[in-house]
Each structure stands twice: as C-alpha cells, then as structure tokens.
Amino acid sequence: MKKYIDVYKKDDSFALSEAGKVVVNFSDLQKGWFFKNICVIPGLEMIITKQPKHQGLRVDCEIARSPVNFCYNLSHPVRSIIRHGTRSRKELVRTPGSGVLAYLPETFGMTEVPPGEQIVSVCLHFSVHTFRKLFNKVPQCLKKLGLTHSGSAGERFYQQSLFDRNTFLVLRQILDCPYHGEIRRLFFEAKSLELVAIKLSELEQDSCQNVSELSRQDSERVREAYHILLNSIEHPPSLNDLSRNVGINRNKLNRGFRMLYGATVFNVLRNARLAKAWTLLQQTELTLAEIAFSVGYNNQSNFTTAFRRQFGITPKTARQEGSGCPLPQNVMFC
C-alpha cells in the first residue's frame, strides 16, 4: 500500500475533492478495516484508523510539501524508516501511548506495524497555512518549526513523547463520538484544537526546563535510550545495561529522562506498560494473566496492584465497564 501526502494546492489552501490530499489506496486495505478520512475544516484532515489483529502492515510514504502532523497510536507499535533527499535514512519507533508532532517536507520512506497487532490511531494533518492561522502570534515553542506568519515553513521537526491523561481522554472522545453530520464535524474541530493546545502546552513546559544541562550528544543518547526502552517493554534492559548501551552513566540518563520526558527511566517504563495494558483490556479478549505477561509483569498480582495504583480501578473493573469507562482523574502518564 502506498500513501501520498501533499495537502496543498498552489495557494496553500486545501480542498477535499482535489488531488494533493492525503490519499490511501483503499483496495489494499484488509477486510475488517475501519478507516475514516475526515475533512474537518479546509486545511485540516483527521484520519481515524481501527483494525483488528492482522497479518502485518507496511505503508510506503512520499511527502512533498508536508502538512503539520499530530499523530497518536493507542494500541500498537509503529516502526518508520525515513529519508530526506540524499541523506542517510533514519529509523523511528513509536510505542502504544505515544504521540508525535512532525513537520517533514521532502521525505520518503516506509511505516510498518508488526503482525498480530490491533491498530487504533488518530492523526491530524494541518496545511501550514491553516496551522499558522490558528495563532495571532506563533507560540515560542513552535519557533523551531519556523512557522511565522510570513514566508515558508522552516526546518524539519519531529517530537515524540508519551501522551498524558488529558490527551488520552480526548482521543477516546474522538473514537467514541456519538454525533453525526455537521455536529460531528464541529465536535471533531473542537477536539482537534484541544489536542493541539495540549501538545503545545507540553512543548512550552519542555522549553522552560533547563535542557542546556545536557549536551546535544547526551540528549541524543537519552532519546536513543527512550526508544530502546519503549521498544522492549516486555523484556526491558536494566538501567545499568541501558546506560551502557547508549554510552551514558545511569545518573545522567535518569536526569536526562526527567528533563526530556518528565519522569525517571523506571516511571517511563511503568507508564508505558500500564497504558498498553489499558488498551489491551479495552480492545482484546486476552486473559488478565496474558495481558500482564505481554506488558512485562510475570506476576498477575503485581500487575493488578500497579494497575490499581495507576488508574484507581482494577483491570477486571476496567474491562467490565468497557470502552465507555472514563479515564480516572488520578491517572499519571509521562
């Protein structure tokens, strides 16, 4: 399957009916897919994907004049390999419960989901023109994108983190939207702006932290450790092994995690495990023991204790109350 992204016409606006929108070849989608490509407002598309366990998925992408992307995967790992022009390729890994803000013009590559994984995701694609119009003054945290009110957008940008409780709640409201027609479109517009506000608030907080304490090289090592950790939540490396693998001492690694991700290495791992467990409870028929093992808990009792401490309810209660169960107010993600 091949996906082409170019949300612009010559005047940098967007029209659902014209070539240049986000296009997916529906004939390649497997039976059981739920896929909605929704024009929320001119210049903003929302893509909602749901699909049960499958044989694996690979999507080849070509991005011309890039939109500004907000992408959230709730239930599955995603591996992407991208390249800009003649530069060397770069591998990006997203785990369940992670969100990405990206601007990647002139990029091509591929994205794949391993077999046996259920896919649930929500993506927002803004044209640069439409995204700029959201602000009377571009927030300081977006200056790195070069999104000023004049001239073209700036350098490529990719920021990834585990999303918080507020983001999780908004995503579930989108997936469970009870409205239809124009009311549904208005609801999606409001929720899209809410997701943008939450993400930019997160970026503002990050920019206020004294990340200068980490050198650029150490920051890259911390980010490498983050991806290693979230790609191996079933059997994660020890803190000593993780720090050794990326070439940074454990104290600096923990400090770097707190600076970049707002939590220690242990808490990032725990939150990722429990976020995935919540999704598996809502969207699969795996037993509690199987879910516990799949997120790295060898003891179901320990899993239940950690889950109740995180969400305020037991795994059994979360499953019984189903997809309508509201996310408790005391949930703390990274």
Query: Which of 208, 237, 256 is a domain's end point?
Result: 208
Residue 149 lies in a domain: yes
Cα–Cα distances (Å) from 244 to 130, 252, 267, in that order, read 45, 12, 19
pLDDT at residue 108, rounded to an integer: 82
CA distance 50 to 18: 25
Segment holding 113, helix H or strand E: strand 107-113
Domain harbouring 246, CATH code: 1.10.10.60
pLDDT tens track for 288-320: 999 999 999 999 999 999 998 887 789 998 888
- The answer to whether residues 115 and 55 touch, using CB atoms and an 8 Å cutoff, is yes
Same domain, 195 and 311: no
Same domain, 305 and 225: yes
Query: Which of 184, 208, 232 is a domain's end point?
Result: 208
pLDDT at residue 292, rounded to an integer: 92
User: Rounded mean pLDDT of the chain?
Assistant: 77
- The answer to whether residues 200 and 134 touch, using CB atoms and an 8 Å cutoff, is no
Same domain, 158 and 222: no
pLDDT at residue 178, rounded to an integer: 92
Same domain, 204 and 236: no
pLDDT at residue 185, rounded to an integer: 95
pLDDT at 260 over 80: no
- Which residue range(s) make up the domain with 51? 2-208
Q: Average pLDDT in the 127-151 region?
A: 76
- Across 83-87, 166-170, 180-184, 323-327, least confident range: 323-327
Residue 331 lies in a domain: no
Phi/psi region, residue 180 (left: phi>0; alpha: psi -120 to 50; beta: rest), is beta
- The answer to whether residues 109 and 66 touch, using CB atoms and an 8 Å cutoff, is no
Q: How many domains does the chain have?
A: 2
Q: Where do we find the tokens 């091949």?
A: 2
- The answer to whether residues 66 and 129 touch, using CB atoms and an 8 Å cutoff, is no
pLDDT at residue 179, rounded to an integer: 94
pLDDT over 90, % of the chain: 25
Hey, how many other C-beta atoms are within 10 angstroms of the C-beta on 89? 12
Tokens describing residue 193: 């702006």
Q: Average pLDDT in the 186-212 region?
A: 82
**Model pTM above 0.75:** no
Domain harbouring 42, CATH code: 2.60.120.10
